[in-house]
Amino acid sequence: MKIALTIAGSDSGAGAGIQADLKTFHQFGVYGTSVIVAITAQNTRGVRAVHAVPEAMVAEQLAALAEDLPPAALKSGMLATPALVRQVAEAIRERRWAPYVLDPVMAASSGDRLLTPEAERVVRDELVPLAALVTPNLDEAALLTGMPVESPDAMERAGRRLLDLGAAAALVKGGHLESAELEDILVTPGFVRRFRHSRVATTSTHGTGCTLSAAVTAGLALGRDLEAAVADALDYVHRALLAAPGLGGGHGPLGHHVPARD
């Protein structure tokens, strides 16, 4: 049994964050562990409150896993503050945990910024160079690279810029493009692959990015190569969107219960 670790925030509505990651890990047949860096009070309608976990407690969680349950692969999601970003980066470097998937949770689907400019800089400078894969949406890609990202060609350019910043690979997500077909672009030093899926007409999209990065992490923990792990993850998310249970009065959760590809 392979171990996959998620370092992220807790979502009381269980559609995103730690809860979505652990559900996804389970479906892929890996043992999920977690380090919680923030507690949120939220549902499908929005976030009511956020409480950052004290750094000392985050350190204890990281140490507990390092000594007994080290991961075969790991990911990070929302990290809340510049200090927590630095702390997570230091832990990954010191323990040489890899492969590491960075979901740079910096901008909401609405485009609202979720981190301070200082925290955004720390993500770019400290976490991007550690990443086997970074998975930004269009707004996050623009914040990380300093360039507008409004077309598939711009997505590819942003992916190449993320490689220049130190990432081993980048998956730039095109879900916010206004197009009938969904396009996500994987950029690596050796190749570029464009993944296309039909767009699912649903409001149950909460946690899509968390689920995708968790699925890639699970695939890497299982020893799959990056391209296969990304392809399997995108396929899982697409089917989870189709199977969304329609819960809540806002942006509901995905159907995490769908099986992962064998």
Query: What is the crossing angle of helices 138-145 and 152-164, to 10°?
Result: 40
> Would you call 175 a catalytic residue per the annotation?
no
- Of the candidates 159, 207, 219, 252, the residue annotated as catalytic is 207
| Active-site residue, from 32, 209, 219, 252 | 209
Question: Which of 173, 174, 217, 252 is flagged as catalytic?
Answer: 173
Q: Is 40 a catalytic residue?
A: no
Note if 223 is an active site residue.
no
The residue from 205, 211, 217, 252 that is catalytic is 205
Identify the CA nearest to 156 among candidates 180, 196, 186, 182: 186
Q: Exactly one of 81, 188, 208, 211 is catalytic; which is it?
A: 208
DSSP codes, the chain: --EEEEEEEEETTSSSHHHHHHHHHHHTT-EEEEEEEEEEEEETTEEEEEEEPPHHHHHHHHHHHHHH---SEEEE----SHHHHHHHHHHHHHHT--SEEE----B-TTS-B-S-HHHHHHIIIIIGGG-SEE---HHHHHHHHSS---SHHHHHHHHHHHHHTT-S-EEEE-TTS-SSEEEEEEE-SS-EEEEEEEPP--S--BTHHHHHHHHHHHHHHTT--HHHHHHHHHHHHHHHHHT----SSSS-B--TTSPPP-
Rg value, the chain, Cα: 17
Q: Is 205 a catalytic residue?
A: yes
Is there a catalytic annotation at residue 33? no
Residues 6 or more apart from 250 whose CB is under 8 A from it? 43, 44, 45, 46, 203, 206
Give the active site residue among 24, 75, 188, 210: 210
75 catalytically annotated: no
- Which residues does the annotation mark as catalytic? 173, 205, 207-210
